[in-house]
Amino acid sequence: MTFNTDFAQADVDRAVNNLERFNIFFPERRQFFLENSGIWAGSDNRAIVPFFSRRIGLQGSFNSKPARLNAGTRYTMRDENRSIAGLYIHQAETPNSPAASFGVARYLHNYGKENNVGVMLTHRLDEASSDLGMTQSNNTTLTIDGLIRPKDELTISYMLSGARDNSNDTIGLAGRFSAVYSANDLYMFWRTSFVTENYKPDMGFVFQNNVIWHNPGGFYIWRPKNIPWIRRYDPGVYFNYYHDANQPGNFQQASLYIFPVYIYFGDNSFLEYSLLPTWQNINFDFSPLGLRIQQDRYFYLRQYIRFRTDASKPLSLTGRLDWGSFYDGTRRTITASTRFAPLPHLAFTAEYEYNDLQNIGIENQDLQTHLVTGGIRIAASPRLQLSAFYQYNSFDEQGRWNIRASWEYRPLSFLYLVFNDTQVNSFDRNLSEQQVISKLTLMQQF
């Protein structure tokens, strides 16, 4: 149970420069919603998620400012035969959004050796507000999902979800089917997902509406016995094909992910070289990072090199270089990150992303972006920790600090001290917002 709750102690989101046509999935970071979150339908997927807890605690669907929660409760029960879960949250009214109630119920039944079937119901009620001039509205989803494993190497999973919104009296459907064959020397799969135009779950997330996505692929697994410095070599190919759901003949996008070099070395390092030929049909207004793309059909080819050193070492490195054509221009991206942990209680991290786009779009534009991230984590003891995080994105000229100290003074009960500083350059003005927050939580288990 929780009362008068905010989540100021939660880890902050990392900025992302999105150059694709799909919505970005930002994972949940609030502990109250993370605990036992794997029980909900769609929790293992980032394309179609009928219950996405991040929709709770925001001032409207398109307003990222937090809203206070008056009260909430969560219940979970699992045994060898079934899982049962329920959650209810009441959100307070804000100057931008009415008070709202969020409810979700889940039942999952296990049968046979490794099979299950489940059902989940979500309901969101936005209350009437005379101050905001809004009438009452509600949104409901019903989801059926399951997993079938006829033999150890084959896993079949499925999900079908329907959403009804009473504000415009529409009903939409979404679902996915997956078949995976996994053996010692071969991995193959076929996945198909679909989202209709009217599937709009107010408590969920979808990567795109009006789309059907087919994703077959596989790779060979070779473990050479006579080459000790290679642990595994996994060459393969994935295929992605997207088309409209309401008119299946309307093509959207297709790509081949071809990775002839995909090597895990004996020292736990990794190397990949891959190619990504892509076909695009841009028949809508599309402006990634403000670059207006002409409505037309495009083909471009990109190449990738990715590596990773042994992550268990005190110093580890990860990097990626990709280059090639991009719509009607070119794009080069460099990503690098490092982690340095000289002591078990101390770790430093740093990340850098650089995008160089040339001759893109209707205006034949050039754009360079720099995204810099740094962090430090100190654990004086398992119960007393300090973390600091800084990120700067040159695209929107936004920098942010997040410093958090936490003390677990009793099991699962914490005292937090948090400092946030966000700075934005807008219209030649420096805007800054700073917060200093203290928070005490008490967890009582029965």
User: Would you state the pLDDT for residue 336?
Assistant: 98
DSSP, residue by residue, 170-228? EEEEEEEEEEEEE-SSEEEEEEEEEE-TT---TT-EES-SSEEEEEEEEEE-B--SS-T
CA dihedral angle for residue 339, residue 342, residue 343, residue 347, rounded to 10 degrees: -30
User: Would you state the pLDDT for residue 288?
Assistant: 95
DSSP state of 31: H
Alpha carbons 132 and 386: distance in angstroms, whole number = 41
DSSP state of 33: H
CB-based burial, 167-202: b 16+ in 10 Å, e otherwise: eeeeebebbbebbbeeeeeebbbebebbbbebbbbb
User: Would you state the pLDDT for residue 9?
Assistant: 65
Alpha carbons 26 and 47: distance in angstroms, whole number = 11
Alpha carbons 420 and 403: distance in angstroms, whole number = 7
Alpha carbons 407 and 387: distance in angstroms, whole number = 12
Structure tokens at 164: 């009804």
Instruction: Let me know: does 42 contact 25? Beta carbons within 8 Å.
Output: no
User: Average pLDDT for consecutive 10-residue bins of the chain (446 residues)?
Assistant: 73 85 88 87 92 88 75 93 96 90 97 95 93 89 97 96 89 97 97 96 95 98 94 97 94 98 96 98 95 96 97 96 97 97 95 97 96 96 94 92 92 89 66 84 75
Helices and strands in the chain: count of H runs, count of E runs: 1, 25
How many CB atoms are closer than 10 A to CB 387? 16
CB-based burial, 45-54: b 16+ in 10 Å, e otherwise: bebbbbbbbb
Does the global pTM surpass 0.85?
yes
Helix, strand, or coil (residue 37):
helix
Instruction: Let me know: does 336 contact 307? Beta carbons within 8 Å.
Output: no
User: Would you state the pLDDT for residue 430?
Assistant: 66
Angle value at C-alpha 358, between 354 and 361, nearest 5 degrees: 120
